[in-house]
A and B are shown apart, each in its own frame.
Chain A
Amino acid sequence: MKDYQLAWKNLWRNRKRTLITAASVFFAVFLALIMRSFQLGTYQKLYRDVIESYSGYLQLQNSEYLDEPGLDNGFTVDDSLIVRLEADPEVTAVIPRLESFALAASGSRTQGVMVIGMDPGKEHDGLNLRNRMVRYKLTPGAVASIKSEVLPARSIKLLDLLMNESYTNEEKLLLDLGLSPGDSARYLPMLREHTSFSNGYLNPSDTASAIIGSGLSEYLQAGVGDTLVLMGQGYHGTSAAGLFVIKGIVSLPTPDIDNVFVYLPIEAARWLYAAPGMATSAIINIRNSEDRELFRTQGRLNAVAGGELKVRNWKELNALLLNQMEADNKSGAIMLGILYLVIAFGVFGTVLMMLAERRREFGMLVSIGMQKHRLAKVVSLEMLMIGLLGVLAGVAASLPFVFYGNARPLRFRGEMAKMYEDYGFEAVMPMLQPDSYYLWQVAIVLLIIAVAVAFSVRKIFKLNVINALRA
């Protein structure tokens, strides 16, 4: 009979042995896939968060701007160019922005700020402002009135620590107060009543209104309805100075930006900086943000933009972040390597034991006339089949976990969650859906099996039949 048929029969002759060996491969593949999926999922989420809250996937800029950001390296917005860019099948919108520095003053305090002139009418402009509007604030007054209400003792204690904190959503408010989602029905209405914050969003026609970060609002002691002075240097060194009414307060993820960001409608920013019709960058929203497609889109758009303007991708825009993530990724790869080391030994151990167990059998076969090379071939086939079996099982078993972990990521609770949120990250650890990394892990495991096969073949050829029979 054919070799592979023999191999297959052999597998099922001793089910226990087959299953044990296949199991070691199965575990190897399964664990490796799960671990890598977590790692890659977390990185992807991090990138996504940054991209979607500030830089966007693609930006149109003056070619000098990346190296030397500044108003003088802005560009005049050419409507016909915008139309041509938006005509590309991958592009959904092109939204200009004007950013620069200024000194903000209210009352006696001044603070250096970053002014962002944006389009309030356009959603998905990368800034996600609407979701960051403060809805609840633990003002001293609110804290005082809440204390007289019924709340767990721990929450009352936390209230003092959280004085003046602003919240954009209820979940975080509950989390910070140490209340579980189950308690929400009990406490939320009361909390809402005391801490609701009246806020307003910008209209494109608002010529003299601004939205500022909650940290900035605290520092300048200026809230909704107060006047904000912005001054600095505008385009070509012209003086920039203007008065703006604070229309709304947002809570931005990290203190770095919460303390210094001011948002104006772009026309107001253009007036302030004497930069009519200009922008420092334009966010380009695209349908397919997957890298390969993204670079192709970038190439096409660059051809359209041409000359002085360049389309930059998120990697170029976030070079520092990329550098950090790569460092992190490398350490992640090392961890994976260590895992493989352990796994490899597991597989080898099993294979070695299997060979030892079948010594007598091999000796018998050779003594009755089977040629060694044929034996080797059959055994190799057996091992490959087992390997494939284990791999398929491992991949299959991992898929439900991976898909689930992708759709409904693992959520952190308690301290860990708080830490993530404080940094402006969602407290989750998502898994990456099946991708090329699947192929890599499988390839590596197959490599391990191949080495095991090679070893077995060698053992067979060195087999001393007499000793084997005596085993």
Chain B
Amino acid sequence: MKGIYRLATASTIVLMILPAMTEPATAQQLTAKEIITKADEKFNGEMSGYSVMSMTIVRPTWQRTVEFKSWSLEDDYALTLITAPAREKGQTFLKRGNEMWSWNPAINRLIKLPPSMMSQGWMGSDYTNDDILRESSVINDYTHSLVGEEETDGRLCHKIKLLAKEDAGVLWGHQLWWVDKEEFIVLKAELYDEDGYLVRTERGTDLKTMDGRFIPSTIELVPAEEPGHKTVLKILEIKFNVKLAEGFFSQQNMKTIR
């Protein structure tokens, strides 16, 4: 499932998929790094799954919605099948590591996507090649510090600052995360460039329980320097812990998956 969320949440938002028990009693004494680590570890550990999502691209003069099904294994493999709109139905994308292939039945061609193709955003959205394919670690590439507590959307959150390490291969200068104290869900994240200017805001809303987990079912990505632009991801269906083998994520499967 992590693959889907990679798609959905950029390299930054980490959805905390915790089993019912957490460590509420000791939450207040957790360090910033530990909080982030928990979220990330849980995420990594539980990430095999299946989901159905809809992505709405919003622009000042128009908007467009794409629906797709997604399968993923850990952080490394993901297979996505576009189900709507009709014109794009049947296209599949395969991610293996930091490479991406695309299959389009209309032209009957399997193409390895060069990075230049992706620089405009996947399917026209605000998700870039960097969000989807870059392998950066929220734990190792940043130093973390707890800067306070704030209420966001009616829930009390840890406010954590993630400062990118000097030689880390991440585009951002620093990030601010609002992590829900109870459920360790990242409700809001602000991404800043090295000069300290806000470039992007991400929010997780519509919290609900799906397949036994309490997660945000809507994720919004808002670029800061482009008024009227945003991308909204809605999780329609999700199944965790689906057993998938690496062999599932093959070029052959790209053509036959339904």
Residues of A in contact with B (beta carbons under 8 Å apart): 103, 105, 110, 112, 229, 231-233, 236-239, 241-243, 274
Complex contact B104–A238 (CB within 8 A): no
Listed by A's residue number, 21 A-B pairs whose Cβ atoms lie within 8 Å are A103-B111, A103-B117, A105-B109, A231-B104, A236-B57, A236-B124, A237-B64, A237-B121, A237-B125, A238-B64, A238-B87, A238-B124, A239-B87, A239-B104, A239-B123, A241-B104, A241-B107, A241-B109, A242-B106, A243-B107, A274-B87
Query: Contact check: which of A110, A233, A274 meets B111 at CB < 8 Å?
Result: A110
Q: In this complex, what residue of B is CB-closest to A70?
A: B120
Contacts of A239 in B (CB 8 A): 87-88, 91, 104, 123
Complex contact A237–B124 (CB within 8 A): yes
Contacts of A243 in B (CB 8 A): 106-108
**Whole-angstrom CA separation of A243 from B107 in the bound complex:** 6
Question: Could you list 20 further interchain pairs (A-B, Cβ under 8 angstroms) beyond the known A238-B87, A274-B87?
Answer: A110-B111, A110-B114, A112-B116, A229-B107, A229-B109, A231-B109, A232-B117, A236-B57, A236-B64, A237-B57, A237-B120, A237-B121, A238-B85, A238-B88, A238-B124, A239-B91, A239-B123, A241-B104, A241-B109, A243-B108
Contacts of A232 in B (CB 8 A): 117
Contacts of B125 in A (CB 8 A): 237
Contacts of A233 in B (CB 8 A): 120, 124
Residues of B in contact with A (beta carbons under 8 Å apart): 57, 59, 62, 64, 85, 87-88, 91, 104, 106-109, 111, 114, 116-117, 120-121, 123-125
Complex contact A231–B107 (CB within 8 A): yes
Given the known interface contacts A103-B117, A231-B104, A274-B87, the answer about A237 and B111 at a Cβ–Cβ threshold of 8 Å is: no
Contacts of A229 in B (CB 8 A): 107, 109
Contacts of B87 in A (CB 8 A): 238-239, 274
Q: In this complex, what residue of A is CB-closest to B125?
A: A237
Contacts of A112 in B (CB 8 A): 116
- Rounded to whole Å, the gap between the CB of A114 and the closest CB of chain B is 15
Contacts of B64 in A (CB 8 A): 236-238
**Whole-angstrom CA separation of A242 from B88 in the bound complex:** 12
Q: How many A-B residue pairs have CB under 8 A?
A: 48
- Rounded to whole Å, the gap between the CB of A220 and the closest CB of chain B is 14
Contacts of A237 in B (CB 8 A): 57, 64, 120-121, 123-125
Question: Top 5 closest A-B pairs, CB basis?
Answer: A237-B124, A241-B104, A241-B107, A239-B88, A243-B107
Q: Which of B108, B120, B121, B124 has the most CB of A within 10 A?
A: B124
**Whole-angstrom CA separation of A229 from B111 in the bound complex:** 11
**Whole-angstrom CA separation of A247 from B106 in the bound complex:** 20
Q: Which of B62, B106, B125 has the most CB of A within 10 A?
A: B106
**Whole-angstrom CA separation of A233 from B66 in the bound complex:** 14
Contacts of B109 in A (CB 8 A): 105, 229, 231, 241
Contacts of B85 in A (CB 8 A): 238
Complex contact A241–B62 (CB within 8 A): no
Contacts of B88 in A (CB 8 A): 238-239
Contacts of B106 in A (CB 8 A): 241-243
Complex contact A231–B57 (CB within 8 A): no
Contacts of A105 in B (CB 8 A): 109, 111
Contacts of A110 in B (CB 8 A): 111, 114
Contacts of B121 in A (CB 8 A): 237
- Rounded to whole Å, the gap between the CB of A371 and the closest CB of chain B is 83
Contacts of A242 in B (CB 8 A): 106-107
Contacts of B59 in A (CB 8 A): 236
Complex contact B91–A231 (CB within 8 A): no
- Rounded to whole Å, the gap between the CB of B129 and the closest CB of chain A is 13
**Whole-angstrom CA separation of A105 from B88 in the bound complex:** 19
**Whole-angstrom CA separation of A463 from B166 in the bound complex:** 88
**Whole-angstrom CA separation of A110 from B107 in the bound complex:** 14
Q: In this complex, what residue of B is CB-closest to A244?
A: B107
Q: In this complex, what residue of B is CB-closest to A103?
A: B117
Contacts of B104 in A (CB 8 A): 231, 239, 241
**Whole-angstrom CA separation of A103 from B119 in the bound complex:** 13
Q: In this complex, what residue of A is CB-closest to B116?
A: A112
Contacts of A274 in B (CB 8 A): 87
- Rounded to whole Å, the gap between the CB of A70 and the closest CB of chain B is 10
Q: In this complex, what residue of B is CB-closest to A112?
A: B116
Contacts of B57 in A (CB 8 A): 236-237
Contacts of B107 in A (CB 8 A): 229, 231, 241-243
Contacts of B124 in A (CB 8 A): 233, 236-238
Contacts of B120 in A (CB 8 A): 233, 237
Q: In this complex, what residue of B is CB-closest to A271?
A: B87
- Rounded to whole Å, the gap between the CB of A73 and the closest CB of chain B is 11
- Rounded to whole Å, the gap between the CB of B92 and the closest CB of chain A is 12
**Whole-angstrom CA separation of A243 from B121 in the bound complex:** 23
Contacts of B111 in A (CB 8 A): 103, 105, 110, 231
Q: In this complex, what residue of B is CB-closest to A239?
A: B88
Q: In this complex, what residue of A is CB-closest to B57?
A: A237
**Whole-angstrom CA separation of A295 from B57 in the bound complex:** 41
Q: In this complex, what residue of A is CB-closest to B64?
A: A236
